[in-house]
Structure 1
Amino acid sequence: MRILAALFAFATALPASSHEFWIEPPAYQIEADGIIRGELVNGQEFIGSQLAYLPQRFERFTVASGMRQANVENRLGARPALDIAPLAEGLHAISYQSRLSTISYAEWEKFVNFAEHKDFADYEDLHDARGLPREGFTEGYWRFAKTLVGVGHSAGNDFRTGLATEFVALDNPYTADLTNGLRVQLYFLDDTLADGQVELFEKAPNGTVDITLHRTNEDGIAVLPVKAGHSYLVDHVILREPSAQLAQQADIEWETLWAALTFGVPE
């Protein structure tokens, strides 16, 4: 919480929305001499609006491959926001950590729909037990987005990049046999997250999107069914009471942390 509270000191407003946020490359695999590109996207059902490269909106934006890591840099306002040379051949993990943004709820039903969609347990009892109003309250939210891009031979393993909540792919989507699915492990701070809802958005080559729900096991692992030629967004949201310090600084009653992972599966 100390880290999150510190990040708030740099917070600026983002578009008020409880939609998903993700990094979407036009190509999840590129040649060794290619360029890694990707849009920052805010939307629903794996479709949304592309956002420009604006450092005031993020706390960190990095690329890592093997033992190499670098900051993602670009022109102010550039699109796509991700437009960099690879660090080497192999699997690249690109991570984005937003600054704190807020959304206010004028209607209880809007919060209920969001809470039930994201599978928050006992949210109503917790809300009432804290003596919070059912209208005119505010949520602060953080985005922790990650994408996997294969460069050249695309070999390598995904790993934790330091996001507060993060999916780690236990199988390389570009080199592994995915007949039995692709395994992802969900983390929150220093621990894996058991029995968490994992929302899987599957985009077909023709642009249609299917959505399925999955759950992590006792080790925080979910096995996701995937298809050749499709791309994927994996999403999980944590709802919690903010620390007293953050609640006062940001003037919020609830705090959400959004984890997103995108990848493609080769033909």
Structure 2
Amino acid sequence: MRYAWLLLFSLPAFAHDFWLEPSTFRPAVGQKVTVGLRVGQDFAGDPVPRSAELLDQFTIRDAAGERTIDGFENLDPAGYLRIDKPGLAIIGYRSKPYRLDLPAEKFAEFLKTEGVESIVKFRGQADREHFYRYAKAVVGVGSAGFDRRFGFRYEIVPETNPLAASPVRLRLLFEGKPLAGALVTAIDHEGVRLTARSDSHGRVAIALPKPGVWLVKSVWMVPAPAGSDVDWESLWASLTFER
């Protein structure tokens, strides 16, 4: 546990993915589900304990509405809930901003890895930024509700049911509007990695070749507001589900 906490704030961890890992993606009505926070690479991660210092929002949206996910401070899993209604539900996590400084070499490596071409011209400069995490997971069984939005600043929204559709069609929203040119990556636990970029309407289609648990992720960067003590804000969005 201590290692995962340190990993989250270590320099290399900036380029690590962050996602939600429920104890089951297909709970029955009335079943208790725990939700872990994970940080890692290639869809292999370490647990991140619940922390009021990190957490800004941790909720679930289903047919009954939206409610807070409870949990115990400094423990993993970070949350627990009970499924009250049949159908699909979406779990959402939003972090508070955290400051990070990267030397020019590391910043350039990050921009290349995450495909943030909108600011690649700045790769020779050092990086001072705030980063934010926006993670979602689809749980339950059914065909409705997969497209529920949380209104996160950066959000991956399915437009077809990711549990069954082929290809899976997604939309990238930045501040509620479609975002063009964002790199989207889908990864499974066996090393399959697929990428695509969002079109002028923020849409992307990815043909997932097999069933299983999938992580879809994307990173976007924008200039920090004038007068702040950083140059950039990096926004990390993820979506996990099981087909």
SS of corresponding position for 2:112: helix
Give the match for residue 115 of structure 1: 111
Give the match for residue 9 of structure 2: 15
Give the match for residue 178 of structure 2: 192
* Greater gyration radius: 1
TM-score of the two chains, using structure 1 as the length reference: 0.80
**Number of residues of Structure 1 aligned to a counterpart in Structure 2:** 232
Determine if contact 1:148/1:262 at 8 Å carries over to the other structure.
yes
SS of corresponding position for 1:232: strand
1:1-267 alignment, distance < 5 Å: 15-16=9-10, 17-18=13-14, 19-106=16-103, 108-121=104-117, 123-126=119-122, 134-135=125-126, 137-150=127-140, 153-157=141-145, 158-174=147-163, 176=164, 178=165, 180-203=166-189, 208-245=190-227, 247=228, 251-265=229-243
SS of corresponding position for 2:192: strand
Deviation at 1:234, TM superposition (A): 0.9
Distance in 2 (CA, whole Å) between partners of 1:81 and 1:53 is 5
Determine if contact 2:98/2:131 at 8 Å carries over to the other structure.
yes
Write the letter of the residue equivalent to 1:109. Answer: E
Determine if contact 1:29/1:154 at 8 Å carries over to the other structure.
no
Residue 125 to residue 219, structure 1, CA distance change in 2 (3 Å): closer
Write the letter of the residue equivalent to 2:136. Answer: K
Residue 161 to residue 122, structure 1, CA distance change in 2 (3 Å): closer
Q: Which runs of 5+ in 2 are unaligned?
A: 1-7
Deviation at 1:227, TM superposition (A): 4.2
Write the letter of the residue equivalent to 1:64. Answer: R
Q: CA RMSD in A?
A: 1.9
Residue 27 to residue 84, structure 1, CA distance change in 2 (3 Å): same
Deviation at 1:217, TM superposition (A): 2.0
Q: Deviations over 1:87-118 (max 9, x none)?
A: 31111111111011122213x22111100112
Q: Deviations over 1:103-161 (max 9, x none)?
A: 2213x221111001122225353467xxxxx34x42210001111101xx434222211
SS of corresponding position for 1:115: helix
Q: Deviations over 1:162-214 (max 9, x none)?
A: 1111111112234x4x2x311111111121112221011122xxxx2222211
Deviation at 1:264, TM superposition (A): 0.8
Deviation at 1:85, TM superposition (A): 0.7
Residue 125 to residue 223, structure 1, CA distance change in 2 (3 Å): closer
Write the letter of the residue equivalent to 1:66. Answer: A
Q: Deviations over 1:16-67 (max 9, x none)?
A: 4211111012321111121222210111111111111222211111100025
Distance in 2 (CA, whole Å) between partners of 1:36 and 1:171 is 24
